[in-house]
């Protein structure tokens, strides 16, 4: 099963870059049939990579909140058909719909949402995001090692 892990976020805005960093970590694992794609934002061009995959996992930070959000790995619903873009930025559901519209292919899709605390101008992750990244990578590795399994329960 070919899996695409798309980690996205702005690495110059503190915890917003946690998804990007997660994809970089997955890339360093050199797993067979797993392609990691760190990027600043989701763009329509990603639909082609999504269509080439059997499974896609989107990794991003949750909005900061107090108390911070839990780490969540969940199945995403299929995206809408006939998608219209209002700019160069999109979201996972939009990209899934675009892959279906353009390539008549939509893989199994999941989202890994990592907790965040601070999205100020910084290249550093807060302690909350650091912990979430560590736990998220552990959960993601377990999920990738068991490709026929549904996501493990959220924590």
pLDDT at residue number 85: 58
Distances, alpha carbon 24 to alpha carbons 7, 35, 48, 77, 94, in Å: 8, 10, 20, 26, 23
Query: In the numeric block, which tokens belong to residue 101?
Result: 């519209």
pLDDT band at 153 (very low <50, low <70, confident <90, very high): very low
| pLDDT tens profile 4-21 | 999 999 999 999 999 999
pLDDT exceeds 60 at position 108: yes
Return the CATH fold of 3-145.
Answer: Rossmann fold (3.40.50)
- Per-residue pLDDT at 154: 46
Question: Rounded to two decimals, what is the model's pTM?
Answer: 0.90
pLDDT at 83: 58
Tell me the domain boundaries of the chain.
3-145
Give, in degrees to the nearest 5, the angle at Cα 8 between 31 and 69.
100
Residues 95-106: tens digit of each pLDDT: 999 999 999 998
Checking if the pLDDT of 88 tops 60, the result is no
Q: What is the pLDDT of residues 25-84, one digit of tens each?
A: 999 999 999 999 999 999 999 999 999 999 999 999 998 877 778 889 999 987 666 555
């Amino acid at each position: 099963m070919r899996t695409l892990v798309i980690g996205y976020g702005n690495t110059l805005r503190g915890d917003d870059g946690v998804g990007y960093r997660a994809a970089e970590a997955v890339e360093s694992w050199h797993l067979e049939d797993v392609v990691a794609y760190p990027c600043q934002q989701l763009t329509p061009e990603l639909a082609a990579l999504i269509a080439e995959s059997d499974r896609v996992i989107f990794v991003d930070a949750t909005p900061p909140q107090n108390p911070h959000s839990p780490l969540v790995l969940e199945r995403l619903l299929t995206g809408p058909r006939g998608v219209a873009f209002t700019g160069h930025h999109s979201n996972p559901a939009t990209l899934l719909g675009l892959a279906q519209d353009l390539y008549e292919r939509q893989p199994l899709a999941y989202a890994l949402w990592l907790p965040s605390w601070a999205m100020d101008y910084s290249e550093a992750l807060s302690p909350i995001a650091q912990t979430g990244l560590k736990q998220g990578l552990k959960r993601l590795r377990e999920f990738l090692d068991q490709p026929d399994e549904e996501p493990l329960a959220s924590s």
